[in-house]
Homo-oligomer: A and B are copies of this chain.
Amino acid sequence: MSFLSTLNARWAATGSLLCVGLDPDPDKFPSALRNDVGSIARFCIDIVDATAEFVCAFKPQIAYFAAVGAEKQLEELCQHIRANHPTIPLILDAKRGDIGDTAALYAREAFDRYGAHAVTVSPYLGTDSIEPFLAHAGKGVFVLCRTSNVGSGEFQSQVSNGMPLYQHVATRAATDWATKGEVGLVVGATYPEELKLVREIVGDMTLLVPGVGAQGGDPHAVVTHGSNSVGRGLIVNSSRAILYASDTDYASGAHDAARATAASLV
């Protein structure tokens, strides 16, 4: 099944728009595991199993693994998700962006090595930097559009031909990239008005929305402004607020936090 087929089936089965972001920071681990780099996979797998029933996707952030040389643990985590939760799409958050040959290698890293169903990429280098990802039929490619950080507007909001850069990216996604593969966009929850503008440009395209939870985005505003014509089209990510919800029983804490966050996305 393709990424979008899997995602649509998952939305239909659960009604949930929640994605749990797997950003394992050993400094923030519960006391029993604190600062134990070797326990990254175990921690993430426990979170996955505890929250699976409430999610439409999981999203490991590769930087947390790469910084500490834990690629094998990322492989183990991805393998666990695919084997034990085969109906849940796996999005690798990598924000890669490079020219043709090199982009093709990053696509291989995400889709072949880690077996991800989708990956995040950067648009700065243009269409030929994105095509090598889109060339993997049935895989999802989420292009950064409007990010959730404070400085995101610096370049993304620069207006040319009457439209800010992020809307040019959205337009290109809707008119060109969407004809070449299963493209989606990353739009931060912290700018709900701009989420609405992107939705108007891209029709029913899937939007990956980080920034709910610890980053302060309002879940209700995201759904109101961002959902598509059938009330879906959103993958809303929360990481820290779920991963570190409880120090005493992190799996149970994550379970409860995921249930509450999923319920708030209406």
Contacts and interface: CB of A to CB of B under 8 A. Distances in A.
A152 interface: yes
Interface string A147-162: 1111111111011110
Interface in A112-148: 112-113, 122-129, 144, 147-148
Q: What are the nearest 9 A-B pairs in CB distance?
A: A126-B151, A126-B154, A128-B151, A67-B105, A63-B105, A158-B160, A99-B149, A67-B108, A160-B160
B168 A109 contact: no
Task: Report the copy number of this chain in the oligomer.
Answer: 2
A204 to B, nearest CB: 24
A96 interface: yes
Interface residues of A, number: 53
Contacts of A97: 95, 97, 122, 124, 144
A264 to B, nearest CB: 22
A96 B95 contact: yes
Interface string A40-77: 00000000000000000000010110111101000100
A250 interface: no
22 contacts: A63-B106, A64-B102, A64-B105, A66-B105, A66-B106, A67-B106, A67-B108, A69-B71, A95-B97, A95-B98, A97-B97, A124-B124, A125-B151, A126-B151, A126-B153, A126-B154, A126-B156, A154-B172, A155-B169, A158-B158, A158-B165, A159-B160
Contacts of A160: 158-160, 165
A213 interface: no
A166 to B, nearest CB: 9
A99 to B, nearest CB: 4
A63 to B, nearest CB: 4
A15 interface: no
Given A154-B172, A155-B126, A160-B158, A149 B63 contact: no
A172 to B, nearest CB: 7
